[in-house]
Amino acid sequence: MNPVRLFGIETEYGIAREDSETADPVVESMELVRAYLDGHFTRRWDYRGEHPHEDQRGFRVTELAQDKEEDLFAEQDAHRPFSFHEMKSDLVLPNGARFYNDHTHPEYSTPECRTLKDIVAHDRAGERILWVAAQRRNEVLGGRVVQLYKNNTDFHGHSYGCHDNYLVSRTIDFDKLVRGLLPFLVSRQLIAGAGKVGREAQERGFTPGGFQISQRADFMETELSVDTMHNRPILNTRDEPHATREQYRRLHLILGDANMCEYATAMKIGTTRVVLDMIAEGFVPSFELASPVEAIQVFSQDPDLKAVVKRQQGGTISSLEIQREYIDQARRVLTTIDKETEWVLQEWEQVLHYLENDPLLLIGKIDWVTKRWLLETFVQDEGIGWDDPWLASLDLEYHNVDPERGLFCGLEAEGRTTNVSREDEIQQAMKHGPLDTRGGLRGLCVQRFGEDISSIQWEGVHFNGKNGKLHLDLLGHLEPVSVAHCRSLLERAKSPVDMIESMAAK
């Protein structure tokens, strides 16, 4: 079993200026992030903790596919009146989240969370924070012209990500981690898919017609890779643990869709966490897929869930059968099942039952089912075909975070969605990080001593002191007891110096 349970979600949002077809997306994304600030931007994020070339398979790559694209970006950006770091506009918020411009997309990374209730609340807090920033930006522009979409495609051959991350013990052999995860991840879209009209590929653009389960499946190109922007893998092998390297690795998954349904978010994270617990207990699936990349696309293109793919050992298997294999083994493999795990297992069983027998019972719970129902209703009412370009526009509006325009927001306002978090919990998550993780500690540092911070990252915070720099190391604050002790010192301290001295005296 994993010694520490921590996870988080990074979401890139689509951004559009409806009053201008020539608006610079880099500038618009940068201005949106900065609009959330009450004062001037000051660079504080410490990029020294990022090592994208390190591979979990035990080597360091000399070059990533996206390096050339980033070099091209740098060349294209050379004419801009701001530096790379000014363009990134990297913020750490009072709730411990990171909010920045990922070149042409505003990106929100939740603070580390320990419970499904917290991760859902903080994911929703990200939507609200982005919407607040959009409203402030629109006030400057003089109209409701900036629109934000929590989705993964622009329907022109470009995909942007929603990455879920998990702290995993490094004692788990990486090959066993891969074997245990691949079939699950290929079929996880049954629960976590956001749904999408048409087909798409980076080199071919968008082809209208039909409906599929996942927005990201079209863009998966290989099983394993350290790359994220090209040659996209089902299982990303980047080795950036943001924790003690000898003890932990970070599982960085880039194949997932951005979910509007809170229930789908909880189940995406919850089922993946359960599978990781199973692997830690020694579970290995009884089969391997002959071609996981082909399988993830075949399953996505079959919303009726009838398709089967080849197993490496011979025979075929469906997405539902794969998911059942995992849940059937979970109760056999897991030695301890806490309350949250029991909830995941019960809901997982129910979702698979409904998918096979009556998917409409999952409207408001599972995004692809909800979106398919909305679009099917529209197709029937308007008498149009699935290749009508109108549907791509409606698909996009499902993900609009504007409460007056978003189709999902409309369903939520009508009480037709299943929520996991309460409104007061979302509001709290916009202001404060989780009480039991280092994400909350990071946010508390920003709240109490923000002006004294010289640099900050996932692993720690540097403060300016009279006699030099002061460092709060967050690497060791992973367990709730350690977090609680550090929080009590932070809350009582009158200054960063006072805090560091109190910690040294413990």
Amino acid letter for position 134:
A
In 22-115, which residue ranges form alpha helices assigned H by DSSP? 25-35, 65-77, 84-88
Residue pair 368/194 in contact by the 8 Å Cβ criterion: yes
Residue pair 406/398 in contact by the 8 Å Cβ criterion: yes
Residue pair 360/370 in contact by the 8 Å Cβ criterion: no
How many angstroms separate the CA atoms of 60 and 72, rounded? Answer: 23
β-pairing, 222-225 vs 233-236, is parallel
Q: Which residues are designated catalytic?
A: 102
Provide φ and ψ at 468, rounded to 5°: 120, -165
The residue with tokens 């603070």 is 111
Residues 6+ apart with CB under 8 A from 403: 131, 409, 413
Residue pair 327/352 in contact by the 8 Å Cβ criterion: yes
How many angstroms separate the CA atoms of 430 and 97, rounded? Answer: 9
Name the maximum alpha-carbon separation found in the chain.
Answer: 74
CA nearest 469: which of 55, 44, 87? 44
CB atoms within 10 A of CB 468: 7
Helix (H) or strand (E) holding 55: strand 54-55
Amino acid letter for position 394:
L
How many angstroms separate the CA atoms of 171 and 381, rounded? Answer: 56
User: 71-89 burial by CB neighbour count: b if 16+ within 10 A, else e?
Assistant: eebeeeeeeeeeeeeebbb
